[in-house]
Amino acid sequence: MVQAKAWLLAKHFDGFPTESNFELKLEQLPEPKDGEVLLEAVFLSVDPYMRPFSRVRMNEGEVMIGTQVAKVIQSKNAEFAVGSHVVGRCGWRTHTVCDTTGLTPVMADWPEDVSLSLALGAIGMPGLTALYGLEEVLGLQAGETLLVNAAAGAVGSVVGQIAKIKGCRVVGSAGSDAKVAFLKELGFDRTINYKTVGSLDQALREAAPEGYDCYFENVGGQFSSVAIHQMNNYGRIAVCGCISLYNDTTPQTGPYPHLTMIFKQLKMEGFMQSRWEHKHPESLKRLMAWMKEGKLQCREHITEGFDNMPAAFMGLLQGENTGKAIIKV
């Protein structure tokens, strides 16, 4: 039998997460049954969505939700060979015995010189989120001006790069000078450190005097309230996240955008990448091709050690990461 470690949600979050919200559990796993596999985590992901999703989709005492790249170390399923790698929603655990429902083999032609951790980042869910938000929701066209916030994060950094590939002007907002420097390396046309500008409204206007055609929303809150007034007529807004709201104990209120949306005839749409799951195989190939061509850079913020997952998660919510936050077991 294999001994596994798992991080449980000991107590639902009330405000910003603390160490007391998590509990590390040891468990003995049974042998795989027919059709099942035993997985060993190699890389695990921490993502902002885990904060709100844990409230609506988890009970206290359950293993924290999440995705990992894992190696098959025992198999009683002919389609999953020992030694192969999969992406699975196994949660925060080092080992998993499961049937193969929901497991996705890492693409067969994954380059040997590319870390498998990218299957949790730019060549995975965050990359797909960026791609579908731009193409399926915004319908971004060459020559348009795009605004993206949390632009140095796992999704935002890919959003900006794909928009540049498509021939757009990109304005990115981030929360430190180091992150702003990273955005400049990626080729963003204008960058804003929203924490140090005297006026966000003025900074956004100076970055795009003619306004914004598209807005990729990752932050919400006050940033959104300012940005929406600078949208052009018939502008489109893709709502991917609202990290500024996730840890609130009292819901934020107003100002309300309805009149601006009416007068400017704006379109705002929330989305999740799973809506286009049927496109994933081809979309992942497109992302990988851009990376091979040098058009897509993939920055990672790697934390060593499974026991450090809660700290990595809390650091993510505080904006400590540039690029994708990854835990290496």
Work out the average pLDDT over 203-210. Answer: 98
Contacts of 5 (CB under 8 A, 6+ apart): 24, 25, 26, 93, 94, 95, 306, 307
Residue ranges of E strands in 223-313:
231-239, 267-270, 300-304
The three-state secondary structure class of 52 is helix
CA distances from 229 to 83, 222, 261, 268 (A): 53, 12, 9, 13
pLDDT at position 168 = 98
pLDDT tens, position by position, 141-186: 999 999 999 999 999 999 999 999 999 999 999 999 999 999 999 9
The three-state secondary structure class of 63 is strand
pLDDT at position 157 = 98
Confirm if 304 and 311 have CB atoms less than 8 A apart.
no
Q: Provide the CB-side half-sphere exposure for 201 (13 A, CA).
A: 5
Q: How confident is the model at residue 95 (pLDDT cuts 50, 70, 90)?
A: very high
pLDDT tens, position by position, 240-262: 999 999 999 998 888 899 999 99
Longest Cα pair distance anywhere in the chain, in angstroms? Answer: 65
pLDDT at position 326 = 98
Q: How far apart are CA 326 and CA 329, in angstroms?
A: 10
pTM of the model: 0.96
pLDDT at position 82 = 98
Contacts of 56 (CB under 8 A, 6+ apart): none
pLDDT tens, position by position, 24-59: 999 999 999 999 999 999 999 999 999 999 999 999
Q: How far apart are CA 120 and CA 98, in angstroms?
A: 20
